[in-house]
Amino acid sequence: MKTAWKIWRTAFTRSGVLLLFIFHACKKEDQRLYGAAINMETIPVSDTLTSMVTSNTLLTATHPWYIKGWVYVGNEASLRIEPGAIIHILPGERYKNGGLVVTRGAYIHAAGTEKLPIRFIVKEAGNVVVLGKAPAARKMAVLDNPENGLLSGLSYGGTVKEDSSGMMKHVQIDYPGKQTVPPLLLLGTGTRTRIQHVIQHRTNSELQHAHLP
């Protein structure tokens, strides 16, 4: 993506966040694929994410990040991850799993490179789940709540065939051999969601790899 960048960073100590203002000019094709340009992003001060991401957020490659329990990207926010970033997925305090859920209308922009891939490392059990607005096999498509099957599920699917939930490119997801569910779940994602060079790596003695085009 050819982008002209001008960056101003301002720290707000009272709120405990670092705001990264980005003004850029993307090509029309990029805007068509990934939606409106992102003009403001927040870099979390804490290296551990919990609960919800409700504003445009940037995870830099300057240090490892940790997702504890289940973190949901909602409110039509965007989560952007820099090339070379490492994200550890840890179980929550109440449950033995964890993961990242990009809800309907939200975006993930995880664009690694061949030399600087983005890496997710699942500690015990977990997933990266992307939910879109495109038609699904079931009319009332609902994903079981990953934290507790007794709680309300997460809706996905819709009527927008060309929906975009963002992109994942040059990403590796390491997950334990005992896990039976694939670590990356794409549910109701549209034709403008771009998934390229994603490796799901089962970390056992057989070193099994599952490649996504």
What does the pLDDT look like over 172-188, one tens digit per residue? 999 988 888 889 999 99
CA distance 81 to 65: 10
End-to-end alpha-carbon separation of the chain, Å?
A: 19
The 10s digit of each residue's pLDDT in 117-147 is 999 999 888 999 999 999 987 655 777 767 6
Mean pLDDT, residues 134-161:
74
pLDDT score of 21 more than 90: no
CA distance 207 to 114: 20
CB atoms within 10 A of CB 72: 20
The residue ranking higher by pLDDT, 42 or 30, is 42
Return phi, psi of residue 93, to 5°: -70, -30
CA distance 66 to 163: 29
CB atoms within 10 A of CB 137: 8
pLDDT score of 46 more than 50: yes
The 10s digit of each residue's pLDDT in 69-128 is 999 999 999 999 999 999 999 998 877 889 999 999 999 999 999 999 999 999 888 999
The 10s digit of each residue's pLDDT in 183-203 is 999 999 999 999 999 999 887
pLDDT band at 28 (very low <50, low <70, confident <90, very high): very low
- Check: CB of residue 197 under 8 Å from CB of residue 184: no
Given this model, what pLDDT does residue 151 score?
A: 53
Query: Is the pTM here over 0.75, yes or no?
Result: yes
Given this model, what pLDDT does residue 170 score?
A: 97
**Looking up tokens 């409106």, which residue turns up?**
36
pLDDT band at 167 (very low <50, low <70, confident <90, very high): very high
pLDDT score of 34 more than 60: no
Tell me what percent of the residues of the chain surpass a pLDDT of 70: 72
CA distances from 210 to 100, 174, 183, 197, 199 (A): 20, 11, 10, 11, 6
Given this model, what pLDDT does residue 149 score?
A: 57
